[in-house]
């Protein structure tokens, strides 16, 4: 099927949107489930079969698993404002107080899908709802809604 917009024009528009994203993006830290590391010492007196705890010297250590990504952050302006009022919707969708929307690129999206929490601006947030793809012709940015963890 023929298109009115050439591939070169599409690439230019996509690059312009990504430039806007890169201009206003800030660092966020995305945390996944902590990695559990078992620290154990070898002792000849320990018998695993009989669970001889006298010779067992081990401890559990949790190492945080996180990565840094660039995201545009949108804080809710007025928390008592209806978020879909301009759509004349019958169902009023209200976000929790302190809700935030972030937009990330594909690499951030792949990591955020399984994330437990996100930190930025000295605050910790948890994921709420589903992700949403954005793009003129194909998705290249993804938004997530977050709410404060405390």
pLDDT in tens, 36-51: 776 665 666 655 555 5
CB 104 within 8 Å of CB 145: no
CB 135 within 8 Å of CB 141: yes
Structure tokens at 7: 């591939």
Structure tokens at 12: 């230019």
CB 34 within 8 Å of CB 63: yes
Residue 75, beta-bridge partner list: 100
Q: pLDDT, tens digit, for every residue of 57-113?
A: 556 777 788 889 999 999 876 555 555 554 555 555 566 778 899 999 999 999 888
Query: Going by DSSP bridges, is the β-strand pair 141-148/100-105 parallel, antiparallel, or unpaired?
Result: antiparallel
CATH 2.40.10 fits 7-33+65-148, yes or no: yes
Q: What is the pLDDT of residue 137?
A: 86
Interval 10-25 mean pLDDT: 91
Q: Phi-psi region for residue 136, left (φ > 0), alpha (ψ -120 to 50) or beta?
A: alpha
Report percent pLDDT > 70 for the chain: 71
In the chain, where are the structural domains located? 7-33+65-148
d(CA 40, CA 43): 9
């Amino acid at each position: 099927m023929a298109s009115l917009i050439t591939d070169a024009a599409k690439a230019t528009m996509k690059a312009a949107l990504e430039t806007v994203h890169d201009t206003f993006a800030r660092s966020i830290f995305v945390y996944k489930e902590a990695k559990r590391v078992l620290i154990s010492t070898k002792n000849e007196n320990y018998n695993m079969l009989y669970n001889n705890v006298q010779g067992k010297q081990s401890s559990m250590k949790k190492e945080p698993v996180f990565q840094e990504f660039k995201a545009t952050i949108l804080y809710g302006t007025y928390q008592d404002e209806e978020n879909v009022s301009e759509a004349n919707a019958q169902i009023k969708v209200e976000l929790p107080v302190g809700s935030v929307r972030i937009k990330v690129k594909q690499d951030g999206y792949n990591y955020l899908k399984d994330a437990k929490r996100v930190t930025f601006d000295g605050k910790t947030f948890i994921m709420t709802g589903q992700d949403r793809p954005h793009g003129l012709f194909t998705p290249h940015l993804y938004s997530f809604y977050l709410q404060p963890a405390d």
